[in-house]
Amino acid sequence: MNNSPPTVFVLEDSDLDFELQTLAIRELVPEARIVRASDCCNAPKSFEEIQPSLIVIDVDLPSCNGLAFLEKMRKSQSVSAPVVVFSTSTDASNESRALSAGADQYCVKPVAAAAYLQAVRSFASPYLAVGG
Amino acid sequence: MIRSDASESVVDTTNCDREPIHLPGAIQPHGCLLAFSLKARTLTHWSSHADQWLGVAPRGGESLAEFFTPTAVARLTALADDRPGIVHPLGGPILRTGAPRQAADAAAHVWSDALIVELEEGPPDGRGLAPDNLSLPRRLSLANQHFQASSTPDGLYDAIVREVREISGYDRVMLYRFLKGGHGAVVGEAVDPRFGSFLGLHYPATDIPQQARQLYVLNPIRSIADVNAEPVVLRSVNPLSSPPLDLSFSAFRAVSPIHVEYLQNMGVAASMSISLVIDGELWGLIACHHYSPRVLTFDRRAACEMLGTLAGPYLTTRLDSEAGKLQATRRSLLTEVMHDVASRPDFRDGLRDRAPQLRRVLDADGVVFCRRHDSLPFGQTPSETVVRAIEKRLADHPDAVWSTDVLGEEFPDLAEDLSGVAGCLAVATEASDLSAVIFFRGEYAREVRWAGEPTKVETPTAEGGRLSPRHSFAEWRDTVRGQSIEWSASDLVLASEVRLALIELLSRRAANIARLNDELSRINSDLSSFAYAASHDLREPLRGLNQAIFLLRRELHPAPTPQLEDRLVAIEQLAGRMDDLVGGLLRLARAGSSDLQYDHFQLDEVAREAAEMVLGRPIRSDVDLQIQEGVPVSGDFLCVRELLTNLIDNAIKYNRSDRIAVSIGVEEAANHSAGAGRGAMVFVVEDNGIGIAPELQKDVFQIFRRLHLPGEFGGGTGAGLAIAKKVVERHGGRIWIESGSDGGSKLLFTLSPNPTEDEEIE
């Protein structure tokens, strides 16, 4: 167990979304390290270096599908970090695909910003307990 | 002239048509007949007055040479091998010298194993053909030119009788045409002005028995020189064993006493008939009457016979041409009508506007277009009951065409409903929006002028009825009732063409409707996917907008100026409003896109769930909610729940009452003829809210149509009733608004198609 601040990897193309997510995570853990990729193509090939405590993946991305990224990631790497798929899609098939690809949770992005912050806090907090 | 001779003096109605009139056993006295066995060429029969012609009484078994010159014997021997039924002229003196009455003319023919030689007197009026003394070929040529020059059937009838009268010299020459049912009428006449006209008179079928008609087809000419002359019996070599001589082709065949009586009653002394045979059928007769005895020479008879033969093809051509011209006119009218109907966007309008012309195509007084449940009548037509009865009759008919000119006889029970219509011609078109077309003709009450009362007179005898010919030939008028003008062959042909044209039109129209439906459902599905995509995609930037406002507000906290704060609030509210609208559009798109899952459930079950979604659980205490129990509903549960959610939401939202009352239930369909037909269940959601003005009741179902300011009544999206309407329409129902009993609104809807409404001819 190290005491270094937790790292969250976020795959998210929307700057505003990323800003809100950062806001919510920093509310929980102000010193948290947040690594962002705005598309699959600039996501790291390996999470060896980052060692994230939580991975947050959006589904609709400019050049790829977040779920496909998740499936590939779970197959090729032994990343044990928990994954939350965070999307605007209410489509039930996306949720079941995410869970079967190895996501720990599927969360729909609330429209209202306050609710959005609350949603991020509630799915992130279990994994970002300070000192955890 | 009309009644043919019968061989026996006593006949009754049962054997009348079986009289062997070709075997009379006698000839008329103006000629002499000698018949020889065809094989042995020996005499078998002779007329009893033959001794007056030969000088000696002939004896049975005598050979040809006993009677004729060597030249004549040679010719007779030669023609004996010719085909039977051909009458050969034998010019010049043929009897052996010593005969007291050298016959001027003679003819011979073979028939029924007999060689029959007939002798007659020379012509009393010279060799030529009176009155212009032309030779036979030139006379025939002249007649032919007259026939050719007559362009109409009536003109031809006239030319025929005039030419025959010219050649024959009879007092009266008539053209008699057989009509339907065997009776006939005089259609042409040339008559000596001293005698009255018979033109237009009808003669009953019984005037010419069946076997006489057959004989007319076989031998086209028949003459009676003197009705009042005593016939001369035929003697035969062996009266007991030899069969009676067949006189089918004899020029002198004796006349039946009944026919004699018939002609005597008419005052006729001599007659001649020439058959007009068209396509093997006896079309009519050229009938000649003379009021004193009259013998025609062989030449003249032959010329008249030729005229009859010549007339046949002319009659065919003129009648066909007349029918053809009429048919061509009517056909082009039909084409014009169909072309116009086909070009109309509305088939029914086309038929309605062109019904008068379509009637004219069939020379009909009325026409009815039958549909599955009703019919469109134009002009003179009978009642719907009759129309349906005809349709039923038509359905049993394999040809898809059925006609009659005596509807009253076909449907005796419906006589009251005919409204003066007597004939119909029905064609089946077998489409749901046009099952049949029926043309009608009114009663054609016409007078038929009979040549005497057209019934046979039976004189009672001990053995039964003795048939006697009509005594009176005074014109006898008969009014025909209950009949229309007959449907002609041309009418039937055109009716078939009408049928085919309509079927083609209907199938083209059906294909067109199918294409439009495809297009419409494609557009509909495009629209709903567009609405879905648009509303879905609109949500993304809207979410971003909300997020940006949120962040902006954080960064500008607290707002530097009150004005800036107002601006921020305005942006927030507008974004929120936009979000509501997009949400509504999305729900509407969803209501219209997914497939319906039909289910059976109870109204109270779905209404309670919907109410809880709007009013929370437990239900808000300021709302009185009444839900009728025990009402079965058939539909998509989720859709119906969405529908009721929207209706309850509206009922609550547009309400200023202290205690809001909402009741959900069903009403009797009969009260709502405007919106629903019989048999549909009408659901009602009634409130005590602010109500909707009648003039606005139709508008509220349009999407985003709001009747109030955004700030009023909690700012509805304006999609609720549009969604409700969508759900109802997808179930095939209707939704409408009525003002409630105490000022509120009543939203009424059905969830199934109206069973009594049909989309048919449009």
CA angle B286-B291-B292, nearest 5°?
115
CATH assignment of the domain containing B396: 3.30.450.270
**B540: which chain A residues are within 8 Å (Cβ-Cβ)?**
88
Res B408 pLDDT > 80: yes
Q: Same domain for B477 and B572?
A: no
Q: State how many domains chain B has.
A: 4
Contacts of B166 (CB under 8 A, 6+ apart): B131, B139, B143
Residue that is last in its domain, among B120, B151, B174: B120
**Does residue B189 sit in the same domain as residue B275?**
yes
| Averaged pLDDT of chain B | 81
Residue B182 sits in a domain of what CATH number? 3.30.450.40
Q: What is the ipTM of this complex?
A: 0.84
In this predicted model, what pLDDT tens digit does every residue of B539-574 receive, in sequence order? 788 888 888 988 888 888 887 888 888 888 888 888
Higher pLDDT, B432 or B47: B47
- Assess A95–B contact: CB distance below 8 Å, yes or no: no
What are B446-460's pLDDT values in tens digits?
666 666 665 544 444
Nearest partner of B209 among B270, B258, B271, B276, judged by Cα: B258
Per-residue DSSP letter, B308 = H
Inter-chain residue contact A111 with B542, CB threshold 8 Å: yes
Residue B351 has φ and ψ, to the nearest 5°, of -65, -40
A74 domain residue, yes or no:
yes
- How far is the C-alpha of B24 from the C-alpha of B16, rounded, in Å? 15
What is the number of domains present in chain A?
1
Residue B646 lies in a domain: yes
Instruction: Indicate if the pLDDT at residue A43 is higher than 90.
Output: no
- CA dihedral (A7, A8, A9, A10) positive or negative: negative
- CA of B548 vs chain A CAs: smallest distance (Å): 7
**Number of CB pairs < 8 Å for A and B?**
28
A110 domain residue, yes or no: yes
Helix (H) or strand (E) holding B501: helix B489-555
Asked if A116's CB is within 8 angstroms of B539's CB, the reply is no
Residue B402 belongs to domain spanning? 344-443
pLDDT (0 to 100) of residue B465: 40
Question: What is the SS3 assignment for chain A?
Answer: CCCCCCEEEEECCCHHHHHHHHHHHHHHCCCCEEEEECCHHHCCCCCCCCCCCEEEECCECCCCEHHHHHHHHHHHCCCCCCEEEEECCCCHHHHHHHHHCCCCEEEECCCCHHHHHHHHHHHHHHHCCCCC
Taking residues B140-151, report their average pLDDT: 92
The three-class DSSP label of residue B518 is helix
B398 part of a folded domain: yes
B490 belongs to a structural domain: no
Shared-domain flag, residues B436 and B295: no
Mutate to test the interface with B, among A111, A116, A117 (most CBs of B within 10 A): A111
Last residue of a domain, one of B443, B474, B505: B443
Express each pLDDT in B387-403 by its tens digit: 999 988 888 887 788 99
Q: How far apart are CA B734 and CA B754, in angstroms?
A: 9
Most confident of B124-138, B161-175, B604-618: B161-175
What would the two tokens of residue B442 be? 């009114």
User: Which stretches of chain B sit within 8 Å of chain A by CB?
Assistant: 539-540, 542-544, 546-551, 579
Max intra-chain CA distance, chain B: 163
Structural tokens at position B21: 């009139």
pLDDT digits (tens, 9 = 90+) for B155-170: 999 999 999 998 889 9
In this structure, is residue B690 part of a structural domain?
yes
In a domain, A14, yes or no: yes
Six-digit token string for B355:
């019904």
d(Cα B1, Cα B520) in Å, to the nearest integer?
76
Q: At B419, which amino acid appears?
A: S
State the average pLDDT over residues B275-284.
88
**Is the same domain home to B40 and B65?**
yes
pLDDT in tens, A62-87: 888 899 999 888 888 667 889 999 99
Q: Are residues B374 and B472 in the same domain?
A: no
Domain boundary among the residues B429, B456, B482 is at B482
Strands (E) across B184-326 are located at: 184-191, 202-203, 221-224, 232-236, 270-278, 281-290
B116 is a domain residue: yes
Position A60 in a domain: yes
Q: Quick check: B335 pLDDT over 80?
A: yes
Amino acid A85: pLDDT: 95
Chain B residue with the nearest C-alpha to that of A23: B551
CA distance to partner chain B, nearest, from residue A16 (Å)? 7
- Residue B708 pLDDT: 60
pLDDT at B625: 87
CATH number of the domain enclosing A113: 3.40.50.2300
Most confident of B142-146, B516-520, B624-628: B142-146
Arithmetic mean of pLDDT over chain A: 87
* Contact state of B550 with A113 under an 8 Å Cβ cutoff: yes
Residues of B within 8 A of A26 (CB-CB) are: none
- A101 part of contact set with chain B, CB < 8 Å: no
Note the pLDDT tens digit of each residue in B201-243.
887 777 777 778 888 888 889 899 999 999 999 998 887 777 7
Structural domain boundaries, residue A69: 7-127
Q: Are residues B629 and B716 in the same domain?
A: yes
Which is higher by pLDDT, B754 or B466? B754
Nearest beta carbon to residue A113 from set B539, B540, B546: B546
Q: Which two tokens stand for residue B439?
A: 């043309």
Are B50 and B13 contained in the same domain? no
Structure tokens at B379: 């002009």
Least confident range from B318-322, B347-351, B547-551, B715-719: namely: B715-719
pLDDT at A113 over 70: yes
> Both B429 and B475 in a single domain?
no
User: Across residues B96-111, what is the average pLDDT?
Assistant: 77
> pLDDT grade, residue B596 (50/70/90)?
confident
What single string gives the DSSP state of each residue in B722-747? HHHHHHHHHTT--EEEEE-TTSSEEE
User: Residue B367 above 90 pLDDT?
Assistant: yes
The verdict on B432 and B450 lying in the same domain is no
Q: For the purposes of burial, counting CB atoms within 10 Å of the CB of A80, is it exposed (0-12), middle (13-18) or buried (19 or more)?
A: exposed
Residue B128: per-residue pLDDT:
43
In tens, the pLDDT along B667-718 reads: 876 555 444 444 568 899 988 887 777 777 777 777 666 666 555 555 566 6
Q: What is the dihedral of CA B6, B9, B15, B20, to 10 degrees?
A: -40
In a domain, B494, yes or no: no
Contact A116 B547 (CB under 8 A): yes
User: Is the same domain home to B557 and B654?
Assistant: yes
Instruction: Give the pLDDT of residue B680.
Output: 65
Whether residue B528 is found in the same domain as residue B651: yes
Residue B99 above 90 pLDDT? Answer: no
- 3-state DSSP assignment of residue B559: coil
In a domain, B335, yes or no: no
Distance in Å, alpha carbon of B543 to nearest chain A alpha carbon: 6
pLDDT in tens, A7-42: 999 999 989 999 999 999 999 999 999 999 988 888
For chain B, give the percent of residues with pLDDT over 70: 84
* Residue B81, domain CATH: 3.30.450.20
Q: Answer yes or no: is A53 within a domain.
A: yes
Q: What is the pLDDT of residue B104?
A: 65
Whether residue A58 lies within 8 A of chain B, CB to CB, comes out as no
Query: Domain check: are B595 and B652 in the same one?
Result: yes
Position B131 scores a pLDDT of 55
User: A114–B550: do the CB atoms touch at under 8 Å?
Assistant: yes
Distance from CA of B556 to the nearest CA of A (A): 16
- Find which of B532, B542, B543 to mutate to test the A interface (most A CBs within 10 Å of its CB): B543
